[in-house]
């Protein structure tokens, strides 16, 4: 204890005292760190507090330079570091825990907000960096973007608290007994893991966390076969010398595919990096390989209407000392590999991630609603729709239909069939023959496998674009999987596109996290949970007219958002999502074919009967019944009263589902 007090107050504590304020934990390679070290003088704190509050001899309250200088000297020490510094080491941020973190974090957070402010139009901190970056609280050695700094500051200061539940792995029902339609449900067979409590326990015991619910063995890798090679689970500190969660800022180039067939997940992750406010929702910035490192990390995903916190250890599958699956272009950056592991835990194993759609991962990372488009039969205004989508924060993916005989067949133009790409930008430029709309697209392989036609890397078309425009576009000609192509070539060569629309709850949380209202154009949304139960509510599609009325029915009223405009129609998107089906892969089960029908009911009240459905056709319906996780449809309809009937294709197919309705107008439901 004397060493602890001495090291904290006066500097020069002894080696490895083991107290809370000594380093006393482990470094990223599993080696115990030294304790003791520099301290600080309470006069320093007094001077800074006085300067923050606007009084005393420590500095003028309006002089932000004095405040930041004082904080800098308090942390780093050293001659001339600041007017309150006295030379020598002062606070080691690794020692700040508990009440001291709250005191100093709140002081600095308040000072940053009071004196620096946030530009509401851009989210950038005015004049300097946030206090938490100076202190390194939670983000030490992580290169956070401006939005990330604000989010971290708001988390530390308590100004933003996430609404998130601990992840509970779905377990098989021992005996359904007619109580529900799903073979699995989230049953807490064990105590859910709390990231902060587990990390504190590991730090106190000087041990690295080992996840009891997702062990470092074959059961976490595969459910249908044995590993094809010898696999060794290593922590990042055993792979490289100085691992970091994020290096030089996260980017779409941090997502490179490994040996797992989850390009759909990588395409979504690459999209996520384009928006700090979405990225830090999934990858919390309050964790690193230096400060409070205990081999434990957490990631947050959207699951059927709520956010869950997935806690993992940092043991990763490797072969010959190299990561087998998702990894970053920088060999000491590990956020993408750890995110993939957390996502594998969410669904039971790495093998469960083989095969999927970009939309599924985008929704799990944003809570958004995804639409599918057949580019052979696109809407007439698809270019305007996409540009509007980028303005509203939507995320995009695209693909070419797979060849049934060749997995991920490479085409002569450089594109790959059956492979998920992310669309990361649109830009109109002046080309050799006039204005042209360009699409920026990325192959998650992150290599030279790129489009080689017009507007590809180093093609002659770029000669007509001024250098300053190229710089604005972030143009780079590397073998990194990213390329540009014209909108016409995009429509000619790609066949499927997915758009993930962000709902009002997501945008509202972004505002709470950052203080920035991203856009005034947001969707109104309505959500319902339901189930198809054998001999009760599993009536099948309208082909089975005798049982169709047994399906769940949801009544909504749509109102035009602007009755004074010339357009009297509402845009509405319906989406039906079946739950927990990816978790059932290990049991040999898959998605069931689902769809929906929507009826204009006028003044008809009450539950619709068999006779109503015999006499009336649907006014809207899903394009088909397909065994996808989610079926969606976008429509332009007049305001009015409607009833939505979600169903499986055949009667008595059981599943749980979630119905979501997005509209640009107003919506009420029963």
| Residues that are catalytic | 263, 419, 443
Closest to 600 measured CA to CA, from 643, 541, 638: 643
Q: Taken in order 616, 622, 627, 631, is the CA torsion positive or negative?
A: negative
Tokens at 268, concatenated: 């979504």
Nearest to 159 by CA among 102, 98, 96, 100: 102
Contact 339, 282 (CB under 8 A): yes
- Going by C-alpha positions, the residue among 643, 567, 655, 577 that lies closest to residue 605 is 643
What is the pairing mode between strands 369-374 and 482-486? Answer: unpaired
Torsion of the alpha carbons at 574, 580, 583 and 586, rounded to the nearest 10: -100
586 vs 415: CA distance, rounded Å:
32
Q: Name the DSSP class of 583.
A: G
DSSP label of 254: G
Asked if 640 and 519 count as a contact pair (C-beta separation under 8 A), the reply is: no
Token code pair at residue 468: 């300053």
CA distance 266 to 327: 10
Q: Compute the 3-state secondary structure of the chain and give helix, strand, coil in percent, each to the nearest 5.
A: 30, 25, 50
Residues 6+ apart with CB under 8 A from 631: 575, 576, 594, 595, 596, 622, 625
- For residue 368, the tally of other CB atoms under 10 A from its CB is 25
Range 245-269 burial, b when 16+ CB lie within 10 A, else e: bbbeebbbbbbbbbebbbbbbbbbb
Q: Per residue in 319-344, is it b (16+ CB within 10 Å) or e — as a string?
A: eeeebbbbbbbeeebbbbbbbbbbbb
In this structure, what are the phi and psi dihedrals at residue 165, rounded to the nearest 5 degrees? -105, 150
Distance separating alpha carbons of residues 654 and 110, to the nearest angstrom = 53
């Amino acid at each position: 204890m004397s060493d602890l007090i001495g090291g904290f107050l006066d500097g020069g504590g002894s080696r490895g005292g083991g107290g809370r304020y000594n380093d006393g934990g482990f470094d990223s390679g599993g080696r115990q760190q030294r304790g003791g070290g520099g301290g600080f003088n309470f006069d320093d704190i007094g001077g800074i507090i006085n300067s923050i509050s606007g009084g005393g001899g420590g500095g003028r309250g309006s002089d932000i330079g004095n405040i930041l200088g004082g904080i800098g000297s308090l942390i780093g020490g050293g001659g001339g570091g600041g007017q309150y510094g006295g030379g020598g080491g002062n606070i080691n941020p690794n020692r700040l825990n508990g009440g001291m973190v709250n005191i100093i974090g709140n002081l600095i957070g308040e000072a940053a907000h009071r004196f620096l402010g946030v530009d509401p139009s851009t989210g950038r901190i005015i004049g300097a960096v946030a206090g938490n970056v100076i202190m390194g609280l939670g983000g030490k050695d992580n290169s956070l973007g401006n939005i990330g700094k604000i989010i971290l500051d708001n988390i530390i200061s308590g100004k933003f608290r996430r609404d998130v539940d601990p992840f509970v792995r779905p377990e098989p029902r021992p005996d359904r007994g007619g109580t529900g339609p799903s073979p699995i449900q989230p049953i807490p067979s064990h105590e859910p893991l709390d990231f902060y409590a587990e990390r504190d326990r590991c730090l106190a015991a000087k041990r690295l966390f080992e996840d009891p619910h997702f062990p470092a063995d074959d059961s976490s890798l595969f459910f249908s076969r044995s590993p094809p090679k010898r696999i060794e689970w290593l922590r990042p500190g055993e792979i490289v010398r100085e691992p970091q969660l994020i290096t030089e800022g996260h980017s779409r180039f941090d997502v490179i595919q490994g040996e797992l067939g989850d390009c759909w997940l990588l395409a979504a992750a690459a999209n996520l990096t384009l928006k700090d406010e979405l990225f830090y929702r999934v990858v919390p910035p309050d964790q690193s390989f230096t400060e409070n490192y205990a081999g434990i990390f957490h990631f947050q995903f959207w699951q059927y209407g709520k956010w869950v916190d997935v806690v993992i250890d940092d043991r990763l599958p490797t072969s010959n000392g190299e990561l087998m699956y998702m990894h970053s272009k920088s060999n000491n950056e590990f956020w993408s590999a750890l995110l993939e592991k957390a996502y594998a835990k969410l669904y039971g194993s790495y093998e469960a991630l083989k095969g999927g759609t970009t939309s599924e991962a985008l929704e799990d990372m944003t809570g958004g609603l995804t639409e599918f488009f057949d580019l052979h039969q696109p809407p007439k205004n698809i270019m305007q729709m996409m540009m509007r989508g980028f303005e509203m924060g939507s995320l995009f993916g695209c693909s070419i239909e797979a060849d049934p005989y060749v997995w991920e067949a490479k085409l002569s133009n450089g594109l790959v069939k059956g492979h998920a790409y992310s669309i990361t930008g649109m830009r109109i430029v002046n080309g050799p023959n006039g204005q042209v709309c360009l699409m920026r697209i990325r192959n998650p392989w992150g290599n030279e496998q790129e489009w080689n036609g017009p507007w590809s890397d180093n093609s002659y078309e770029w000669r007509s674009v001024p250098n300053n425009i190229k710089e604005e576009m972030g143009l780079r000609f590397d073998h990194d999987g990213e390329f540009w192509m014209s909108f016409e070539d995009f429509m000619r060569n790609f066949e499927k596109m997915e758009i993930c629309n962000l709902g009002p709850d997501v945008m509202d949380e972004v505002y709470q996290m950052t203080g920035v209202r991203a856009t005034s154009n947001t969707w109104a949304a309505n959500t319902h949970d339901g189930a198809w139960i054998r001999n009760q509510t599993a009536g099948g599609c309208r082909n089975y007219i005798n049982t169709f009325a047994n399906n769940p029915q949801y009544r909504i009223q749509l109102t035009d958002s602007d009755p004074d405009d010339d357009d009297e129609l509402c845009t509405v998107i319906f989406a039906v999502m079946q739950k927990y089906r990816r978790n059932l892969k290990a049991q040999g089960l898959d998605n069931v074919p689902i769809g929906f029908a929507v009826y204009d009911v006028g003044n008809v009240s009450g539950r619709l009967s068999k006779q109503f459905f015999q006499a009336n056709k649907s006014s809207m319906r899903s394009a088909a019944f397909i065994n996808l996780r989610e079926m969606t449809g976008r429509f332009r309809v007049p305001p009015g009263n409607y009833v939505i009937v979600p169903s499986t294709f055949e009667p008595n197919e059981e599943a749980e589902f979630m119905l979501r309705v997005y509209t640009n107008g107003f919506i009420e439901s029963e």
